[in-house]
């Protein structure tokens, strides 16, 4: 089979534009964009998804090469992909903040490890929550929904200089406020349980001032915090699922305009 240089340029042109959007989405998305996945593997995933999308996409109508409109089109594709991935990432950030709240209340704030998903140091409770959230995300086929929304975005926002307005960034910033509400919802059961323990030790310290609470209270709060963690799973699953639904709804609203 032979092909001309013009055909090769057309193929590269048809591949380049979807690849920008898909690669930006994977970079910002949870699970798929995890630091534990090597950059080469993420690049291969982006290439494979793009190769699957190119045959079903209409030929991109893009401006002249290296013109101002061409540069704007490049920025738009990257911006659209980042909005899709980052909006979903905010739901995972809420889980991490919730884990930090629980860890500080239970006396586990000092127990920190390097998070392989995000590449930063976080409390072990946050890592426990993020592992559960990642498994729940995959069980709910969130990775497939993420690819589907990215594929549908080419119908709602065709490749070209026109695309998302900068108001989409403000919409995502507004959704970030839900991150703190979601974190409190996830951490509330364990936090209330630990709070009751601290109140109980406060009452004991008033009735028995000679009692050394630092040698008794901290280990007891630590053990009690570990004991109530499994009891938070029901509320954790419901709260995280609600955050995901809000994220999917926002992504759809932004892409549809």
In order along its 257 residues, the chain shows pLDDT tens digits of 566 776 677 788 888 889 999 999 999 999 888 877 888 999 999 999 999 998 888 877 777 777 888 888 888 899 999 999 999 999 998 888 888 888 777 777 666 766 666 667 778 888 888 888 999 999 999 999 999 999 999 988 888 777 787 778 888 888 887 778 878 877 777 778 777 777 877 777 777 676 666 667 677 777 777 777 777 777 788 888 888 999 999 999 888 87
Name the DSSP class of 159.
Answer: S
Q: Where would I find the H helices in the chain?
A: 5-28, 39-53, 68-105, 124-139, 142-156, 167-207, 213-228, 233-256
Structure tokens at 73: 């089109």
Cβ contacts of residue 211 below 8 Å, gap of 6+?
A: 204, 205
- pTM, entire model: 0.84
CA dihedral (29, 187, 237, 173) positive or negative: negative
- Reduce the DSSP state of residue 112 to 3 states and report it: strand
CA distance 57 to 187: 44
Cβ contacts of residue 60 below 8 Å, gap of 6+?
A: 13, 14, 17, 158, 159, 160
Closest CA to 108 of 237, 232, 227, 196: 227
């Amino acid at each position: 089979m032979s092909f001309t240089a013009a055909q090769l340029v057309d193929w590269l042109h048809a591949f380049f534009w979807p690849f920008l959007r898909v690669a930006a989405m994977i970079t910002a998305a949870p699970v798929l964009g995890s630091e534990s996945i090597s950059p080469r593997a993420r690049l291969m995933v982006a290439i494979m998804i793009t190769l699957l999308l190119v045959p079903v996409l209409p030929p991109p109508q893009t401006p002249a090469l290296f013109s101002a409109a061409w540069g704007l089109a490049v920025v738009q594709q990257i911006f659209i992909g980042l909005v899709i991935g980052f909006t979903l990432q905010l739901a995972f950030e809420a889980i991490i903040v919730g884990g930090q709240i629980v860890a500080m209340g239970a006396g586990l704030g000092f127990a920190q490890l390097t998070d392989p998903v995000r590449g930063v140091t976080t409390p072990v409770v946050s890592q426990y929550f993020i592992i559960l959230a990642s498994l729940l995300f995959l069980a709910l086929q969130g990775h497939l929904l993420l690819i589907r929304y990215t594929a549908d975005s080419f119908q709602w926002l065709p490749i070209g200089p026109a695309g998302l307005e900068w108001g989409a960034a403000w919409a995502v910033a507004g959704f970030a406020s839900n991150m703190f509400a979601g974190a409190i919802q996830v951490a509330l059961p364990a936090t209330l349980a630990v709070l009751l323990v601290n109140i109980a030790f406060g009452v004991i310290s008033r009735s028995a001032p000679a009692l050394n609470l630092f040698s008794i209270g901290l280990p007891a709060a630590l053990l009690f915090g570990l004991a109530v963690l499994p009891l938070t799973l029901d509320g954790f699953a419901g709260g995280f699922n609600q955050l995901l639904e809000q994220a999917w709804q926002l992504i759809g609203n932004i892409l549809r305009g």
